């Protein structure tokens, strides 16, 4: 059943590969500078490498948007997204898989009554506007610079042709790596919260995590999609939207690669923060939007000549339709799978508003009166809890997200003896370890209570504020999650 449920993720990966190979080697193949089989082989290898070794950063944002917590639910949401993407592929339109995935997860939130993290949603949606503009600016600048250098160097046309072919292969490999790193979250990100795989210790040399195993099979599915069904979509963007020369194609892929790399690299994020610079959010991007922004940038560098605005309009319609279609299909499919096929699509999480929860939420600006009326009553499942809250007052989605986060029951008993094993690769500081030791055998019913107790005992568990603290806070969050997993008694 595990492989049956994951099969829709593999189908989604195949759809992404079929639809997004154009963003990597489309112009090279259509201009006949690189043979399709060569391009597909290079793209397949590097997309797998990018997925396995650099895919974790961007995928976390999707998990924060909505954690699909049952394999049958993951199966259904991924199927809905794959159907939406395949439909657009059948129309020979490059569709935003990232937007379709967001639509599918929002559909799951609506079906289950789970609140949507509006901060994560706004972060993702903002990239739908920023990234095409950024890639257009990169492409414009790169094209102007390349043409200036070529004019000054006076290269023979045969030499220029040879350099362009090599450049298309090298940049295509880099683009494939960044495609796998940034978009594997779209394929397998929703399966992370319900991952069926355990960590593997390979010859006592390195650990191959369950998430990396998911990303490996997802990357293989993307590679198969590139080999089997990507050529038709290549023609739409690379030949119909704008008549791209080999040099322009090289610039487009390079601009796309740079943008995808910026929004997927945890190493770059750490470097920026370490040098006091603003960090770039790690978000799964729509590589289709990025590459079309780059195509438009090159078009404007050529003074706008040759851009087919009618095709651009059709593509924009696909971008709007994809998330709406995926959301609708996801909602209906979840209902059918749960009620017709009698599969458990959602793990019913228990909630309870305790006096401690009321006091904590009051500090967050939530009015205590409506919460006090529900204090002490247990609720099983997000839908039941949301309905009870709605009966007391009209809440914003942000308020609901806070209430759900604080009220979730998650029984945890601290066992400090497990700390050396849990943090073997990255040991806690002396202060952090001592704070955990002080809580030995303490029982908590909410995760935030554990965090608050650790913070009260040791400042090293306290999140920092100000510039340059993002990496530290991210590490603290990851360590807290490890503690919850190790000390959890029941979910």
Q: Is the pLDDT of residue 128 over 80?
A: yes
Residues 367-419 pLDDT 10s: 999 999 999 999 999 999 999 999 989 999 999 999 999 999 999 999 999 99
- pLDDT band of residue 59 (cuts 50, 70, 90) is low
Residues 170-206 pLDDT 10s: 999 999 999 898 888 888 877 776 667 777 766 666 6
**pLDDT for the residue 387:** 94
Overall average pLDDT of the 129-140 stretch: 92
Residues 6 or more apart in contact with residue 205 via CB below 8 angstroms: none
More confident call, 18 vs 490: 18
- pLDDT band of residue 90 (cuts 50, 70, 90) is confident
Residue matched to tokens 């739409």:
236
**What is the token pair recorded at 467?**
């510039």
State the chain's mean pLDDT as an integer.
86
Q: Are 95 and 322 in contact (CB under 8 A)?
A: yes
Residue matched to tokens 């969050």:
477
**pLDDT for the residue 241:** 52
**pLDDT for the residue 68:** 85
Residues 227-267 pLDDT 10s: 988 887 776 655 555 567 888 889 989 999 999 888 887 77
Residues 439-491 pLDDT 10s: 999 999 999 999 999 999 999 999 887 766 777 888 898 899 889 988 988 54
Q: How far is CA 180 from CA 72, 212, 295, 392, in A?
A: 25, 12, 21, 46
Please count the residues of the chain.
Answer: 491
Closest CA to 128 of 102, 99, 157, 95: 99
**pLDDT for the residue 491:** 47
Residue matched to tokens 């029984």:
411
Task: Among 96-110, 219-233, 307-321, 406-420, name the one with the lowest average pLDDT.
Answer: 307-321
**pLDDT for the residue 92:** 67
Q: Is the pLDDT of residue 436 over 50?
A: yes
Q: How far is CA 379 from CA 113, 246, 301, in A?
A: 13, 61, 59
Q: How far apart are CA 403 and CA 330, in angstroms?
A: 25
More confident call, 134 vs 232: 134
CA dihedral of 87, 91, 97, 100, whole degrees rounded to 10: -50
Overall average pLDDT of the 275-283 stretch: 74
Kindly state the percentage of the chain with pLDDT values over 70: 91
More confident call, 280 vs 429: 429
Q: Is the pLDDT of residue 364 over 60?
A: yes
Q: Is the pLDDT of residue 283 over 70?
A: yes
Q: Are 65 and 124 in contact (CB under 8 A)?
A: yes
Q: How far apart are CA 2 and CA 22, in angstroms?
A: 32
């Amino acid at each position: 059943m595990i492989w049956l449920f994951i099969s829709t993720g593999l189908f989604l990966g195949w759809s992404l590969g079929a639809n997004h190979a154009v963003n990597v080697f489309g112009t090279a193949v259509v201009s006949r500078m690189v043979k399709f089989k060569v391009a597909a082989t290079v793209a397949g290898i590097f997309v797998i490498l990018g997925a396995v070794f650099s895919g974790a950063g961007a995928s976390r944002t999707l998990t924060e948007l909505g954690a699909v917590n049952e394999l049958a639910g993951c199966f259904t949401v991924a199927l809905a997204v794959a159907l939406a993407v395949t439909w657009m592929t059948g129309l020979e339109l490059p569709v935003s898989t990232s937007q379709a995935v967001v639509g599918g997860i929002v559909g799951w939130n609506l079906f289950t009554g789970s609140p949507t993290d509006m901060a994560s949603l706004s972060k993702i949606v903002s990239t739908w506007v920023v990234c095409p503009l950024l890639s257009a600016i990169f492409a414009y600048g790169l094209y102007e610079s390349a043409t200036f250098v070529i004019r000054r160097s006076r290269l023979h046309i045969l030499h220029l042709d040879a350099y362009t072919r090599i450049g298309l292969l090298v940049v295509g490999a880099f683009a494939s790596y960044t495609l796998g790193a940034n978009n594997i979250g779209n394929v397998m990100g929703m399966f992370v919260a319900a991952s069926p795989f355990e960590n593997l210790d390979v010859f006592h040399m390195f650990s191959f995590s369950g998430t990396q195993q998911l990303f490996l099979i997802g990357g293989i599915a993307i590679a198969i999609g590139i080999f089997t069904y990507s050529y038709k979509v290549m023609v739409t963007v690379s030949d119909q939207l704008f008549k791209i020369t080999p040099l322009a194609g090289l610039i487009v892929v390079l601009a796309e690669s740079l943008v995808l790399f910026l929004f997927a690299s945890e190493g770059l994020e750490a470097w920026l923060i370490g040098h006091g610079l603003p960090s770039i959010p790690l978000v799964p991007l729509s590589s289709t939007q990025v590459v079309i922004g780059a195509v438009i940038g090159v078009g404007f560098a050529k003074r706008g000549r040759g851009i087919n605005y009618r095709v651009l309009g059709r593509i924009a319609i696909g971008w709007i339709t994809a998330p709406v279609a995926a959301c609708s299909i996801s909602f209906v499919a979840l209902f059918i799978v749960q009620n017709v096929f009698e599969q458990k699509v959602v793990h019913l999480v228990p909630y309870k508003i305790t006096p401690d929860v009321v006091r904590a939420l009051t500090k967050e600006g939530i009015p205590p009166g409506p919460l006090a009326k529900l204090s002490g009553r247990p609720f099983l499942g997000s839908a039941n809890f949301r309905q009870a809250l709605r009966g007391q007052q009209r809440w914003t989605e942000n308020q609901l997200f806070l209430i759900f986060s604080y009220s979730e029951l998650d029984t945890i008993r601290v066992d400090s003896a497990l700390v050396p094993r849990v943090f073997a690769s990255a040991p806690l500081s002396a202060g952090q370890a001592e704070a955990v030791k002080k809580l030995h055998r303490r029982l908590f019913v909410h995760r935030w209570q554990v965090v608050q107790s650790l913070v009260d005992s040791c400042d090293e568990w306290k999140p920092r504020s100000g510039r340059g603290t993002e990496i530290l806070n991210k590490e603290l969050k990851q360590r807290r999650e490890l503690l919850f997993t190790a000390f959890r008694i029941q979910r």
